Amino acid sequence: MTTRPSTETGSMDPSTDTPVSTEQAGRFARSSVTGAKGRHVSVENLDAYYGEQHAVKSFTIEYEPNKVTAMIGPSGSGKSTMVRCINRMHEEIPGARVTGKITIDGEDLYHPSVDVTAVRHAAGMVFQKPNPFPTMSIYDNVAAGPRLTGMKGGNLKERVEKSLRGAALWDEVKDRLNQPGIGLSGGQQQRLCIARTLAVEPEVILMDEPCSALDPIATLRIEELIDELKQRYTIVIVTHNMQQAARVADSTAFMLDGELIEVGPTERIFTKPNDERTEQYVSGKFG
């Protein structure tokens, strides 16, 4: 996982830390945060490698708009790699490569004419460990992406408030916006990171084990938030927590050794999976 916090907003290019220009983002830009609908993400025959290591194998899936899809599977099964391919972060790793096709509402994310920074803007990422920009205030953490990208439409204060409200954090921080982001609790910091992601108006929200560093109360808060966010976004969440998948996800995808074993409505995956390996995994027999 990256060590630079600035990469995790989806607003900057992790390879160079350069801001995403409005024109670059234009290809995938949403018209507005409010009222916007989630986008359809389609993955077709995706293969991802680290040198010789074949980490994701012929992966095909549809992530439905306004739905939450959980990615489950044992450690090393390729979940994080898969999710990182959606915002084109995988290819930043030396020796890594990807083949296949990923589209957002039909737009090919890997088309040669697409600027990679626009893709990272469109597919916002929230990682395991909350990582606010350490020297910045709560306000500046959220304002940083829009400021750097020169986003227009609505003034910055309104955008910050809307993002913090969207991340269900506003009421807790509205009287301390100038205090450091790292002064918040872990769960609040994770919601701050979600607000930071929302501020740059992504199309899709990718979450890689967003609650694994949080206590049960903070986890519940994030789960409630995910449920709200799906009204507006397409959400993919990697989780090791079966109960969490059962609580938040409309669909669940089970990965094993780089392959998608099966995907379907969460309830069916947990009660009547088609594949014996899924049954063994969800019932705790391995992994």
Ligand X SMILES: Nc1ncnc2c1ncn2[C@@H]1O[C@H](COP(=O)(O)OP(=O)(O)OP(=O)(O)O)[C@@H](O)[C@H]1O
What is the closest distance, in whole angstroms, from the C-beta atom of residue 284 to ligand X in the complex? Answer: 15
Select the span of 23-31, 77-85, 101-109, 219-227 touching Mg ion (CB under 5 A): 77-85
What is the closest distance, in whole angstroms, from the C-beta atom of residue 209 to Mg ion in the complex? Answer: 7
Helix (H, G, I), strand (E, B) or coil at 130: coil
Residues 43-62 that bind ligand X (CB under 6 A): 50, 53, 55
What is the closest distance, in whole angstroms, from the C-beta atom of residue 244 to ligand X in the complex? Answer: 14
Distance of alpha carbon 177 from alpha carbon 189, whole angstroms: 13
- The answer to whether the CB of 225 falls within 8 A of the CB of 141 is no
Select the span of 7-15, 78-86, 229-237, 265-273 touching Mg ion (CB under 5 A): 78-86
Q: Which does 93 bind (CB under 5 to 8 A by kind): ligand X, Mg ion, none?
A: ligand X
Angle at 226 (CA atoms; ends 224, 230), nearest 5 degrees: 125
Residue keyed to tokens 């409010």: 34
Q: Strands, E, within 4-155: which ranges?
A: 12-13, 18-19, 41-50, 53-63, 68-72, 96-104, 107-108, 123-126
Helix (H) or strand (E) holding 146: helix 138-149
Distance of alpha carbon 151 from alpha carbon 170, whole angstroms: 21
Distance of alpha carbon 221 from alpha carbon 215, whole angstroms: 10
Give the residue with the Cβ less far from Mg ion, 108 or 259: 259
Q: Which residue in the set 7, 11, 24, 80 belongs to the binding site for Mg ion (CB under 5 A)?
A: 80
Distance of alpha carbon 222 from alpha carbon 224, whole angstroms: 5
Q: Strands, E, within the chain: which ranges?
A: 12-13, 18-19, 41-50, 53-63, 68-72, 96-104, 107-108, 123-126, 204-208, 234-238, 251-256, 259-265
Residues that bind Mg ion (rule: CB under 5 A) add up to a total of 1
| 73 near ligand X, rule: CB under 6 A | yes
Distance of alpha carbon 172 from alpha carbon 168, whole angstroms: 8
Q: Which residue in the set 81, 141, 197, 252 belongs to the binding site for ligand X (CB under 6 A)?
A: 81
Q: Which does 81 bind (CB under 5 to 8 A by kind): Mg ion, ligand X, none?
A: ligand X
Select the span of 19-27, 73-81, 239-247, 251-259 touching Mg ion (CB under 5 A): 73-81
What is the closest distance, in whole angstroms, from the C-beta atom of residue 74 to ligand X in the complex? Answer: 7
What is the closest distance, in whole angstroms, from the C-beta atom of residue 190 to Mg ion in the complex? Answer: 17
What is the closest distance, in whole angstroms, from the C-beta atom of residue 42 to ligand X in the complex? Answer: 20
Interacting residues with Mg ion (CB under 5 A) = 80
Interacting residues with ligand X (CB under 6 A) = 50, 53, 55, 73, 75-81, 93
